[in-house]
Chain A
Amino acid sequence: MNSRRHFLTSTGPAFGSLALSALLPRWSAFSASGGNPLAPREGHHPAKAKRVIFLFMNGGPSHHETFDYKPELARAGGRYLPPALDFAPAGKSGLLISEAFPQLARHADDLCVLNGMRIGTNGHHQAVVRLHTGNEMFVRPSMGSWVVYGLGSEAEDLPGFITIDPIANLGGAGNYGSAFLPATFQGTRIGGGSGSVPNLANGRLTRDDQRSQLDFINRSNRRLLERLPGNPEIEGVIQSYEMAFKMQTSVPETFDLGDEPESIFDLYGINDGVSANFGRQCLMARRLAERGVRFIQLTSNGWDHHGNVGSGVLDRGATIDKPIAGLLSDLKQRDLLRDTLVVWGGEFGRGASEDNAGGRGHNGSGFTFWMAGGGVKGGHVHGATDEVGQEAVDGIMDFHDLHATILHLLGLNHRKLTYHYAGRDFRLTDTKGKVNESIIA
Chain B
Amino acid sequence: MSAGRFSTLVFGLTSLLATTSVFGAEVEEGEIPWSFAPLVRPELPEESFGSWPLDELDHFIAARLAEKDLRPNAGADRLTLIRRAAFDLTGLAPSLEEIDRFLADPAPDPEAFARVVDDYLARPQFGERWGRHWLDVARYADSVGRTWNAPFVYAWRYRDWVIDAFNQDKSYRRFIAEQIAGDLLPADTVEQRREQVVATGFLTLGSLAINMGTGEAFVLDQVDDQIDVTTRGFLALSVACARCHDHKYDPVAQMDYYALAGIFYSSWTYSGTPHVSEHAGYGYVDPEMLVSLPEDLDSPVDRVRSVPVGIHSMSDLRQFGGKAPPPFEIQSDWAMGMRDGKPVDCALREGGMAWDRGETPPRGDIRIPSLPEFPEIPEDASGRLQLAQWIASAEHPLTARVMVNRVWQHLFGRGLVESVDNFGLTGREPSHPALLDHLAIRFIEDDWSVKALIRTIMLSRTYQLNSDHQEAAYQVDPDNALYWRCSPRRLELEPLRDSLLQVAGRLDLEPPAPGVLAGNGGRGRGRTRGEIGFESPYRTIYLPVIRDFLPDEYGVFDFPDPSAVAGQRHVTTAPPQALFLMNSRFVENCARDTALRILDSSAVTREKRLNLAYRSILGRPPVREEIDDAANFMDGLDTTGLDDPELYRWSTLLQGLFASAEFRYVF
Contacts and interface: CB of A to CB of B under 8 A. Distances in A.
Interface in A99-154: 123, 125-126, 136-137, 139
B232 A197 contact: no
B249 A12 contact: yes
A112 B422 CA distance: 44
B555 A12 contact: no
Contacts of A1: 2, 5, 42-43, 45, 63, 434
Given A12-B248, A183-B558, A244 B564 contact: no
A201 B638 contact: no
Contact of B488 (A5, A137, A228, A244): A228
* 7 shortest interchain CB distances as A-B pairs: A244-B578, A230-B469, A3-B2, A423-B238, A244-B575, A236-B573, A199-B583
Nearest to A219: B629
Interface of A: 1-5, 7-13, 24-31, 33, 37, 123, 125-126, 136-137, 139, 168-174, 177, 179-180, 182-184, 186, 188, 197-206, 208-210, 212-217, 219-221, 223-224, 228-231, 233-234, 236-238, 240-241, 243-245, 247-248, 420, 422-425
B659 A217 contact: yes
A423 B422 contact: yes
A213 B655 contact: yes
A4 B209 CA distance: 44
Among A137, A199, A240, A424, the most chain B Cβ lie within 10 Å of the Cβ of: A199
16 contacts: A1-B45, A5-B1, A28-B572, A31-B573, A33-B478, A126-B212, A172-B549, A174-B548, A213-B659, A221-B660, A228-B488, A229-B469, A230-B474, A233-B573, A237-B573, A244-B576
B250 interface: yes
B30 A7 contact: yes
B30 A424 contact: no
Contacts of B653: 216
Contact of A7 (B32, B43, B574): B32
Given A29-B572, A233-B573, A228 B467 contact: yes
Contact of A139 (B523, B563, B579, B659): B563
A385 B2 CA distance: 64
A138 to B, nearest CB: 8
Nearest to A2: B67
B479 to A, nearest CB: 9
B427 A423 contact: yes
A199 B584 contact: yes
A126 to B, nearest CB: 7
Given A12-B248, A203-B588, A420-B426, 13 more contacts: A4-B429, A9-B30, A11-B426, A27-B572, A29-B573, A30-B573, A197-B579, A198-B576, A209-B652, A223-B626, A241-B578, A424-B248, A424-B249
Contact of B667 (A186, A228, A422): A228
B549 A216 contact: no
A184 B574 contact: yes
Interface in B205-257: 207, 209, 212, 221, 232, 237-238, 241, 248-250
Contacts of B625: 223
Contacts of A199: 576, 579-580, 582-584
A44 B1 CA distance: 39
A216 B630 CA distance: 8
A220 B248 contact: no
A384 to B, nearest CB: 29
A76 B90 CA distance: 73
Contacts of A28: 571-573
Contact of A24 (B418, B488, B556): B418
B595 to A, nearest CB: 12
B580 A5 contact: no
Contact of A237 (B43, B433, B584, B661): B661
B310 interface: no
A423 B490 CA distance: 26
Interface in B634-667: 636-638, 651-653, 655-657, 659-662, 664-665, 667
B64 to A, nearest CB: 8
A5 B207 contact: no
Given A221-B660, A233-B488, A240 B212 contact: no
A216 B633 contact: yes
Interface in B458-504: 467-469, 474, 478, 488, 490
Contacts of A180: 561, 564
B421 interface: yes
Contacts of B583: 199-203, 248
Interface residues of B, number: 96
Interface string B193-213: 000000000000001010010
Among A201, A236, A240, the most chain B Cβ lie within 10 Å of the Cβ of: A240
B16 interface: no
B552 interface: yes
A139 B561 contact: yes
A436 to B, nearest CB: 25
A13 B660 contact: no
A219 B630 CA distance: 10
Contacts of A25: 568-571
B20 interface: no
Contact of B572 (A4, A10, A182, A188): A182
A217 B660 contact: yes
B656 A213 contact: yes
B424 interface: yes
A233 B238 contact: no
B571 A27 contact: yes
Contact of A173 (B64, B549, B637): B549
A218 to B, nearest CB: 9
A184 B30 CA distance: 37
Given A230-B474, A237-B661, A237-B664, A8 B565 contact: no
A123 B217 CA distance: 16
B577 interface: yes
A287 B427 CA distance: 43
B572 A424 contact: no
Contacts of A208: 638
Contacts of B427: 423
B327 to A, nearest CB: 21
A422 B433 contact: no
A275 to B, nearest CB: 26
B34 interface: yes
B488 A231 contact: yes
B37 interface: yes
A357 B306 CA distance: 44
B548 A173 contact: yes
Among B32, B237, B467, B548, the most chain A Cβ lie within 10 Å of the Cβ of: B548
Contacts of A213: 582, 633, 652, 655-656, 659
B283 interface: no
Contacts of B221: 137
Given A202-B583, A217-B660, A423-B249, A12 B425 contact: yes
Contacts of B212: 123, 125-126
